[in-house]
Amino acid sequence: MNKGWNFDTKNLAQNINFLEAFNKDVAKILKKEIKAGANEVAKASRRRIPKAGLSNWGAWTFSRDGRDLGFIGGWVKRGIVVETYRSRNRGATVAYGQRVVTQTPAGAIFELAGSVSESPMALAVNAVHPTKNYPRTLFPAYYEAMPIALKKIEAAIEKAKKVGG
């Protein structure tokens, strides 16, 4: 269900793997600081979420399985978070990074409405919140906040070098 944007940094997995083996404190600092950098994109995406998706898109419980698909801006904003993803092979980290995702069903609908189909709801969302790029808030937030996020991530790597050295 989570739709999001990944942050990948060259050789980050190998560096995290090395640090966790030899200096857990530095690894912990680095991971925390990298997450703070990725959070800049999450904040930019939250700023783009409207109070209401559509004028009549309030409480909405899906009849088949009871999922809450209602759009309340505050709930959708709280559902935009930074997640860590990691892949290991034989105990060694082979992929590591952060992703910004929307965890609420309403957030996922808002982000992607109109990207695949021309349903009546998709047409209505596009009429009120037009976009050429999907996901609707995550895509522009990525480009808006990446310069700040990269500076924070680079500073985190430098900080880790100083603490570890």
Q: 73-116, pLDDT tens digit by residue?
A: 898 999 999 998 888 888 877 888 889 999 998 899 889 888 88
Whether the pTM exceeds 0.85: the reply is: no
Q: Which residues contact 95 (CB under 8 A, 6 or more apart)?
A: 13, 85, 86, 87
Q: How many separate domains does the chain show?
A: 1
Peptide bond into 105 cis (omega under 30): no
Domain span including residue 78: 3-164
Residue 38 CB coordination number (10 Å): 24
- Angle, helices 120-128 vs 105-112, to 10°: value is 80
Average pLDDT in the chain: 82
The percentage of the chain sitting over the pLDDT mark of 90, rounded to a whole number, equals 22
pLDDT band at residue 131, thresholds of 50, 70 and 90? confident
100 pairs with which residues across the strands? 5, 82
